[in-house]
A = this chain, B = another copy of it.
Amino acid sequence: MALRKDYTRPLDLKHGRVDMNHGAGGRASAQLIEALFARAFDNPALREGNDGAVLPAPPAGHRLVLATDAHVISPLFFPGGDIGALSVHGTVNDVAMMGAQPLYLSASFILEEGLPLADLKRIVDSMAAAAREAGVAIVTGDTKVVEQGHGDGVFINTTGAGWLPPGRRLGGDLARPGDVVLVSGPIGDHGVAVLSKRESLEFETEIVSDSAALNGLTAAMLAAVPEGSVRVLRDPTRGGLATTLNEITRQSGTGITLDEAKIPVRAQVEAACELLGLDPLYVACEGRLVAICAPDVADPLLAAMQAHPLGQQAARIGLVTDDPHRFVQMATRFGGRRVVDWLSGEQLPRIC
């Protein structure tokens, strides 16, 4: 006789595990949602308990920005973060890079049967803390469960919504020759932190992910200079700085020249990359941004970045050029010049 679980008893968040019933839509699903998600994310829209969330009308003329990300990072917990916080940061940042203020997130979970509920609680609590810190509310969600061996612990999708003020437009197509390329801090920390944990590598100093919500930084930047003078904001996640810049030259029909000596990379990240055969230019960040701006605002914009806790090590790293080949090129520290191409193989799988 099969033991029938009793879903009227409290959820055992210490020793329990996710089972298929938690995804079946019945009493077990309701219990998981109430005891875990609703409690951690609590807000008026979510509390309504309907199929979707009703949110306030925007200020007049404000447009809607939507961005979405699936998070499949492995391992789930890494130095400086976890999949929960990352799933908030990743999507908040995508909305912020459009120049909008992120306000609302949806969150959907694909859980693997057997996942310890204690791990799930830790992840959900981390998401809730990250959302509070970023000033966004998780207003609607969904939970599915797949059989053991058909998932990998937990995958989290978040979709973010925010309002874009009238007259503001940022986008990769707006870069133009003469514009200045800035980066908000050292690159590659996130990718190296995740890889070192995954491969159980030990470095003398622990490298910690840079995972962070950048909406405070972008708001400060956009307030510091005239509307229109910031052309592009983008966070160099998968594929790293090199790929992000190649996307921008492709969108805008320009080239970019970088000055290698100016690109901030922590010494221990550089050392780890050397050991691992990685190029930091291609390693993902989750709390850095690239800004491309009109030359006359580069100094005040850089100053605004450096005045913010998440931009203290911001630097001017290159220039947008007139280049029909749309190449990203780099003046190396040794006085040479090389093309920084798209990532064409696999740098780091499941890094976000």
A238 contacts B by Cβ under 8 Å: yes
Once the chains bind, are A69 and B342 in contact (CB under 8 Å)?
A: no
Is A62's CB within 8 Å of the partner chain B?
yes
Those of A65-82 within 8 Å (CB) of chain B: 65-72
* A149 vs B146: C-alpha distance when bound (angstroms): 12
Q: What is the 8 Å Cβ interface bit string for chain A, positions 89-107, against chain B (1 contact, 0 not)?
A: 0000111011010001011
Q: Which of B61, B70, B142, B347 contacts A24 (CB 8 A)?
A: B347
Residue contact B68 to A140, C-beta cutoff 8 Å: yes
- Among the listed B27, B52, B98, B150, which residue makes an inter-chain contact with A51, where contact means beta carbons less than 8 Å apart? B98
Offer 18 A-B interface pairs, CB within 8 angstroms, sorted by A. Answer: A4-B345, A24-B347, A26-B282, A30-B342, A48-B173, A52-B65, A54-B63, A55-B63, A57-B61, A67-B140, A68-B140, A68-B159, A69-B142, A72-B146, A147-B350, A149-B149, A157-B157, A161-B161
B24–A94 contact, CB under 8 A? Answer: no
Contact assessment for A161 and B26 in the assembled complex, using a CB-CB cutoff below 8 Å:
no
Known: A49-B251, A50-B98, A106-B159. A24 touches B66 (CB 8 A): no
Is A68's CB under 8 angstroms from B142's CB?
yes
A58 part of interface (Cβ distance < 8 Å): yes
* Assembled-state Cα–Cα distance A67/B29 (Å): 18
* A152 interface residue (CB < 8 Å to B): yes
Which of these, B7, B57, B94, contacts A58 with CB under 8 Å? Answer: B57
Report, as a range, how many residues of chain A touch the other chain: 35 or more
Considering the complex, give the chain B residue whose CB is closest to the CB of A50. B171
CB distance from A218 to the nearest CB of B (A): 12
- Contact (Cβ within 8 A) B172 A49: yes
Establish whether residues A64 and B64, one from each chain, have CB atoms under 8 Å apart when the complex forms. Answer: yes
Chain B residues within 8 Å of A7, by CB = 344
Number of copies: 2
Report the minimal beta-carbon distance from A119 to chain B, rounded to whole angstroms: 16
A159 to B158, CA, bound (A): 9
- Contact, CB under 8 Å: B95 / A67: no
User: Is A348 in contact with B172, judged by CB distance below 8 angstroms?
Assistant: no
Task: List residues of chain B with CB within 8 A of the CB of A237.
Answer: 25
Q: Of residues 198 to 246 in A, which have CB atoms within 8 Å of B's CB atoms?
A: 234-235, 237-239, 243
With a CB–CB cut-off of 8 A, which chain B residues contact A150?
151-152
Is residue A28 contacting chain B, with contact meaning CB distance below 8 A?
A: yes
CB pair B106–A68 under 8 Å, yes or no, is: yes
A53, CB-defined interface residue at 8 Å: yes
Query: Taking the complex as formed, is A313 at the interface, i.e. its CB lies under 8 A from any CB of chain B?
Result: no
Instruction: Name the distance in Å between A87's Cβ and chain B's nearest Cβ.
Output: 11
Q: Are B66 and A104 in contact (CB under 8 A)?
A: yes
Which residue among A63, A98, A150, A172 has the maximum number of chain B CB atoms within 10 Å of its CB?
A150
Find the residue from A26, A58, A170 having the highest chain B CB count within 10 A: A26
Tell whether A142 pairs with B347 under 8 Å between CB atoms, given A63-B56, A110-B155: no
Interface membership of A311, Cβ < 8 A: no
A142-172 vs B, Cβ < 8 Å mask (1 yes, 0 no): 1111110111100101011100101001111
| Known A64-B161, A110-B155, A157-B157: A238·B55 in contact at CB below 8 Å | no
A300 in contact (CB, < 8 A): no
* Contact present for B65 and A346 (CB under 8 Å): no
Interface residues of A in 1-60 (CB under 8 A from B): 4, 7, 20-21, 23-30, 48-58, 60
